Amino acid sequence: MALFILAATAAIPLAAPVFPTQDGPVHLYYVDVLRGVLTHSAPYAQHFRIKTFLTPYALEYYSLLGLELFFSPVFSEKMLILAYILGFGLGFRYLVESVAERGTPWILTGIPFCLNMLVYMGFLNYCMALALLLFACGFWIRYAERITTRRGAIMIGFLILMLLTHPVPAAVFLGFAALFLLARRSNRNARPIVLLAAMGILALAWVAPFLHPTLSGERNRNYLATMGWFDTIATELQLYHVSPFRSLLYRAGPILLVALAAAAVAAGLRRRHRGVSSGAKALLAASAACFAAYCLVPQRMNGSFYFAERFPILWVLFLLAGAAAIPLPRGWTLAAGGLAIATTLGLLVQQHVKVEEIASRMALAGRIPLAQPGDVGLIVASSRETPPGLQFNPYMWSAVHYFRRSRAILANDPWMDMPQIMLRPMQPNRWSYLDPDDAAAPFLRSAAGGISWRDLDFVVRMAPGGDFTIDRLR
């Protein structure tokens, strides 16, 4: 049943002409740029250079480079999403079966959260690391007290893969591993402690060169400071930053599933307060820690937005796995499995409708005549407001598909000022690193002041609904 539901989930990105995500078009474009720079081929080699060959996002880019040897860029991205879906489903199953009986219906409860908001945001590197995190936590539960050289090497291998994909799940894993050892405080085996310390040193040594001071001011405040306790917790419990779509109809099933898991935990703790396993304690403590992290960590970290939004999916998954770890009457388990199946099927129908609607609008842009290879263009937009009903903006960077197909140069190359991005512009200028709405103001000022656009060949004007027009400047 679990594999059937995962296959149905995989049909969502496969069926769409283009799977709509917010940041995905930029990552596909940067893979083309990376290939051009590596092979010293025009036009990208004249405009960009590589800062470093290994960064915390490297695994996604090199995976896409390899896949694009055999498939188109759009289908390569779909293949990577399919690998994530499979890894997520099997990883959650592995984690649950580390603390519960094999084949328990609780393994189905994670699947409704597979295509979560972060996937639609285009944070595929984070999502891949999330799947690895599930395997790593399950492996630690099973073998932390029986560490051998081979198992230690496997554990370090998991950590390295996470560090090459996204550092936040790597940090969460180290925290979970520490919580598990604390839960087994009566054990005097020093091997897992030594291994955990070594992994912590390795992670810190890898991440430290990519850190820079966070931005100050209002943008760097946490949700607790901007919204207060009540609104922050209410937002988190309503799963607004887990679900890609805002409607209550979409969120109702996942909310009921989380509520069932919380009720199961409460019932189990009342019945077996002293008989709860170390794995259950660690999972529930990790869930509470990730819940608190959303409230307390900055909204922006290391130059990136949506830092706090990385944690809600984690507390949900840890809670579901923790509920599975507590022995309860069979009725609870069957209810969880049945609700998970019904929820997943309902979500997939809604996702199919929404994805087809968005993808069909994005596909209209494919009819626009391409620019000349090497032409320099700018994307501007009047607003960065998220479309109604969505928790992501699939149109924010959708025009970058046009740049990739044209082999044109994107003047406002986003995120290249961040150390975790391996590329940078050869000669940064006034447009570099700007989001479309940030680029609109200086562009309009230049137009009003009669300043020529000698550094631009065309401009793409984005409309709120995803349509865009192209103005040739010379």
pLDDT at 392: 95
In which region does residue 401 sit, left (phi positive, over 0), alpha (psi from -120 to 50) or beta (all else)? alpha
Is residue 464 one of the residues assigned to a domain?
no
pLDDT at 46: 93
pLDDT at 215: 46
Name the band, by pLDDT with cuts 50, 70 and 90, for residue 272.
low
pLDDT at 218: 45
- Average of per-residue pLDDT across 396-423: 93
The rounded distance, in Å, linking the Cα atoms of 264 and 286 is: 17
Query: Over the stretch 23-52, which tens digit does the pLDDT of each residue have?
Result: 999 999 999 999 999 999 889 999 999 999
Q: Residue 241 in contact with residue 309, Cβ under 8 Å? A: yes
Name the band, by pLDDT with cuts 50, 70 and 90, for residue 213.
low
Name the band, by pLDDT with cuts 50, 70 and 90, for residue 59.
very high
Q: Taking 80 as the threshold, does the pLDDT of residue 205 lie above it?
A: yes
Q: Taking 80 as the threshold, does the pLDDT of residue 431 lie above it?
A: yes
Name the band, by pLDDT with cuts 50, 70 and 90, for residue 468.
confident
- Average of per-residue pLDDT across 404-432: 93
pLDDT at 62: 96
Two tokens at 76? 């390569």
Query: Over the stretch 361-372, which tens digit does the pLDDT of each residue have?
Result: 888 777 888 999
Query: Over the stretch 133-161, which tens digit does the pLDDT of each residue have?
Result: 999 999 999 999 899 999 999 999 999 99
Closest listed residue to residue 258, CA positions, set 223, 291, 232, 298: 291
- Average of per-residue pLDDT across 221-234: 92
Name the most confidently modeled range: 113-127, 293-307, 442-456.
113-127
Number of domains into which the chain is organized: 1
**Higher-confidence residue: 184 or 272?**
184
β-bridge pairing 468-472 and 458-462 = antiparallel
pLDDT at 441: 84
Q: Taking 60 as the threshold, does the pLDDT of residue 319 lie above it?
A: yes
Q: Which residues make beta-bridge pairs with 390?
A: 245
Is residue 382 one of the residues assigned to a domain?
no
Two tokens at 131? 């799947």
Is residue 421 one of the residues assigned to a domain?
no
Mean pLDDT score of the chain: 92
Q: Taking 90 as the threshold, does the pLDDT of residue 451 lie above it?
A: no
Query: Over the stretch 71-125, which tens digit does the pLDDT of each residue have?
Result: 999 999 999 999 999 999 999 999 999 999 999 999 999 999 999 999 999 999 9
Q: Taking 70 as the threshold, does the pLDDT of residue 273 lie above it?
A: no
Q: Taking 60 as the threshold, does the pLDDT of residue 309 lie above it?
A: yes
- Average of per-residue pLDDT across 4-13: 94
Using CA atoms, how far residue 462 sits from 374, 408, 437, 440, 459, in Å, is: 21, 17, 9, 10, 10
What is the percent of the chain where pLDDT is above 70?
Answer: 96
pTM, rounded to two decimals: 0.94
Name the band, by pLDDT with cuts 50, 70 and 90, for residue 447.
low
Describe the crossing of helices 278-296 and 312-324 by its angle, rounded to 10 degrees: 160
**Higher-confidence residue: 360 or 30?**
30
Is residue 433 one of the residues assigned to a domain?
no
- Average of per-residue pLDDT across 221-237: 92
Is residue 445 one of the residues assigned to a domain?
no
Closest listed residue to residue 109, CA positions, set 436, 332, 433, 440: 332
Closest listed residue to residue 46, CA positions, set 437, 425, 451: 425
pLDDT at 378: 95
pLDDT at 184: 84
Domain that holds residue 174: 2-357
**Residue type present at position 294:** Y
